[in-house]
């Protein structure tokens, strides 16, 4: 029998600790390879804990425990033949080399594969290798980065031995695909010990020159503290795992006195009278490396622009009827339903009604086919301290305004607490984004692939409008619908937006379904 320790994996560049959410198995239960046995929660999302081996489970970290990256989560007692997804060197090969005369006894060959990273993640991109073919690597040493459309993960060595690279940098891999192999070194002869130590010395000296993945990067709380103090993270020495700057490091850090930059004399082009001007004051520049997650987002946005025939149509809506309705019934609404009445519920309900009338707007492209949905799942942007997230409202066509407001409040609360799960942020059929809360007057939103359309809301501005031959001041909002022209024609897109405008300007139509 063998006991395998399963540790907290690297879950992204800025994630330094996680909380054990729940265990779906108990100590003593038998688990299978890649079976989901629990959930980890970070300040960004939730991740499944999958069994790395088949065997008997022993839980080490209880529910609610906060752990750093690399801490032990649980242990799995396995049979010797089931220690990992290792492919052992067959006995015939071992017999062909007499153990008495061999200098190095090689054990298992470990095949490292792409592990499940979440329900909606089906493929990843392999980043740059930090090690080369044939390098000696140690257990848990970072070998490369794996990028998905959600986050970036570190690939760490599952054993100590010689690295054999299978997948090259930039390759797109599916879950379960082979990444590399590690030829485990069980014993080293005396003659090889000196060479190995020299190699380790060279590796350690080179690692001092090359920053580790976490070195110099502050945690989220540390970053806020340093920003408040006006301290550059490069001036702070990290004491966390891999040299990461912790909250304690940020609290202890003190701002260095900066000396004024020397005056820079800039010589102008010589003219008939040569003059020299002096540029005074601080002229500093700061350069930060783009994170792998930001690069992935950039690739996806560019891909949407390149792979879809995106077009935007505009209209405007008079918001006075909804504003009057809210002013009249908001107190009674809150008293009865226990939730405030906002604008988003009206927009979500209007869009759900219009999407059922124009199903192509609610459809998506799948190869040579168009997939139509008889339900409406609307992705709604929610603002948090860490940025915008897009949780999904399910079956909006069956919900009342109160149901929509309650669900938005629930998802918004989870988003601000960093407890949204990946399934709660994926699978929408249509998206609503509200740039108006930030003051945007008009924009052309980018489609949220694989969806085919997105509605952009903007700020409400009082403008003079001609009504029945008279000029009236009305609260108006510009509406923008970006859509994929490959499957959505101009007639459908314009008709859909006109229907949304009609429902917003006459909200009683949603009640009467006319």
Q: What is the torsional sign of CA 303, 308, 313, 317?
A: negative
CA–CA distances in Å: residue 419 to residues 40, 413, 464:
10, 9, 45
Residue 401 main-chain phi, psi, to 5 deg: -60, -40
Let me know: does 459 contact 434? Beta carbons within 8 Å: no
Confidence of residue 94 (pLDDT cuts 50, 70, 90): very low
Over residues 301-314, mean pLDDT: 89
pLDDT band at residue 198 using 50, 70 and 90 as cut-offs: very low
What integer pLDDT is reported at residue 22 of this predicted model? 87
Residue 471 sits at φ, ψ, to 5 deg, of -95, 125
What whole-number distance in Å separates Cα of residue 487 and Cα of residue 272? 65
Nearest CA to 493 out of 315, 319, 240 is that of 315
**Residue 114 near residue 173, CB atoms below 8 Å:** yes
Phi, psi for 93 (deg, rounded to 5) = -65, -40
How is 363-419 classified by DSSP, letter by letter?
-EEETTEEE--SS--EEE-EEETTEEE--EE--GGG--HHHHHHHHHHHHHHHHTT-
What pLDDT, on a 0 to 100 scale, did the predictor assign at position 398?
Answer: 94
b/e sequence 204-238, b meaning 16+ C-beta within 10 Å: eeeeeeeeebbbbbbbbebbebbeeeebebeebeb
What are the extents of the domains in the chain?
1-83, 90-210, 220-251, 309-512
Lowest mean pLDDT among 33-42, 116-125, 163-172: 116-125
What's the start-to-end Cα distance of the chain, in Å?
70
> Could you tell me which residues come within 8 angstroms of residue 90 by beta carbon, excluding any fewer than 6 positions away?
none
What length is written for the chain? Answer: 514
Say whether domain 90-210 belongs to CATH 2.40.50.100: yes
Omega before residue 304 within 30° of 0, cis: no
The tens digit of pLDDT for each residue in 425-450 reads 888 999 999 888 888 899 999 998 88
The reply to whether domains 1-83 and 309-512 share a CATH topology is no
Decide if pLDDT at 102 tops 60.
Answer: no
Measured between alpha carbons, how far is 279 from 261 in angstroms, rounded to an integer?
Answer: 11
Secondary-structure percent of the chain, ordered helix, strand, coil, rounded to 5: 30, 30, 40
Give the pLDDT confidence of 153-196 residue by residue, as tens digits: 778 888 888 999 999 888 888 888 899 999 888 544 434 444 44
Tokens encoding 19? 């909380």
Longest distance between any two alpha carbons in the chain, whole Å: 104
- pLDDT, the chain, mean: 80
Which range among 91-95, 160-164, 270-274 has the greatest average pLDDT?
A: 160-164
pTM attached to this predicted model: 0.50
Among the listed residues 386, 68, 73, the one whose alpha carbon sits nearest the alpha carbon of residue 239: 68
Active site residues: 485, 489
181 sits in the region (left: phi over 0; alpha: psi -120 to 50; else beta) called beta
Domain 309-512, CATH: 3.30.559.10
Q: Map residue 336 onto helix, strand or coil.
A: helix
User: What token pair was written down for 436?
Assistant: 């108006």
CATH label, 1-83, candidates 2.60.40.420, 2.40.50.100, 3.20.20.100, 3.40.50.300: 2.40.50.100
Q: Is the pLDDT of residue 48 over 60?
A: yes
Residues of the chain with pLDDT > 90, as a percent, come to 35
- φ, ψ of residue 157 to 5 degrees: the values are -65, 135
Nearest by Cα to 375 from 421, 427, 333, 413: 427
* Separation of alpha carbons 49 and 366, rounded Å: 31
Query: Token pair for residue 417?
Result: 């607490």
Say if residues 6 and 48 touch (Cβ distance below 8 Å). no
Helix (H, G, I), strand (E, B) or coil at 123: strand
């Amino acid at each position: 029998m063998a006991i395998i320790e399963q540790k907290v994996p690297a879950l992204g560049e800025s994630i330094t600790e996680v909380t054990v959410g729940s265990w779906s198995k108990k100590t003593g239960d038998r688990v299978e390879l890649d079976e989901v046995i629990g959930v980890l929660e970070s300040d960004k999302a939730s991740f499944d804990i999958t069994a790395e081996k088949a065997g008997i489970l022993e839980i080490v970290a209880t529910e609610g425990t906060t752990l750093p990256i690399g801490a032990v989560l649980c242990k799995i007692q396995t049979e010797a033949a089931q220690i990992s997804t290792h492919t052992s060197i067959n006995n015939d090969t071992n017999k062909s080399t007499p153990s008495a005369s061999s200098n190095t006894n090689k054990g298992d060959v470990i095949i490292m594969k792409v592990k499940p990273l979440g329900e909606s993640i089906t493929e990843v991109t392999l980043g740059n290798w930090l090690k080369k073919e044939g390098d000696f690597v140690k257990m848990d040493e970072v070998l490369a980065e794996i990028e998905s459309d959600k986050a970036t993960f570190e690939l760490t060595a599952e054993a100590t031995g010689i690295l054999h690279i299978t997948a090259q940098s930039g390759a797109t891999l599916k879950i379960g695909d082979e990444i590399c192999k590690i030829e485990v070194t069980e014993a080293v002869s005396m003659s090889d010990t000196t060479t190995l130590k020299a190699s380790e010395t060279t590796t350690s000296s080179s690692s001092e020159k090359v920053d580790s993945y976490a070195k110099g990067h502050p945690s989220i709380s540390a970053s806020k503290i340093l920003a408040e103090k006006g301290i550059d993270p490069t001036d702070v020495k990290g004491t966390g795992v891999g040299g990461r700057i912790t909250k304690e490091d940020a609290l202890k850090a003190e701002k260095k006195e900066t000396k004024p930059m020397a005056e820079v004399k800039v010589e102008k082009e010589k003219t008939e009278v040569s003059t020299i001007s002096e540029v005074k004051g601080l002229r500093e520049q700061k350069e930060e490396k783009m994170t792998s997650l930001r690069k992935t987002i950039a690739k996806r946005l560019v891909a949407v622009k390149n792979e879809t025939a995106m077009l935007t149509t505009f209209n405007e809506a008079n918001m006075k009827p909804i504003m009057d309705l809210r002013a009249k019934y908001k107190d009674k609404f809150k008293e009865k339903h226990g939730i405030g009445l906002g604008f988003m519920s009206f927009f979500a309900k209007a869009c759900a009604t219009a999407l059922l009338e124009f199903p192509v707007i609610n459809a998506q492209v799948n190869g040579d086919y168009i997939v139509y949905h008889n339900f409406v799942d609307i992705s709604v942007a929610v603002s948090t301290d860490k940025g915008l997230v897009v949780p999904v409202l399910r079956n909006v066509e069956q919900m009342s305004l109160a149901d929509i407001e309650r669900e938005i409040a629930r998802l918004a609360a989870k988003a601000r607490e960093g407890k949204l799960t990946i399934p709660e942020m994926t699978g929408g059929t249509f998206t609503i984004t509200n740039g108006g809360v930030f003051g945007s007057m008009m924009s052309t939103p980018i489609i949220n692939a694989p969806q085919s359309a997105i509605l952009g809301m903007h700020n409400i501005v009082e403008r003079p409008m001609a009504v029945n031959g008279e000029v009236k001041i009305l609260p108006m909002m510009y509406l923008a619908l970006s859509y994929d022209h490959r499957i959505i024609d101009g007639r459908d897109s314009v008709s859909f937006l006109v229907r949304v405008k009609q429902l917003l300007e006459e909200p009683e139509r949603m009640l009467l379904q006319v």
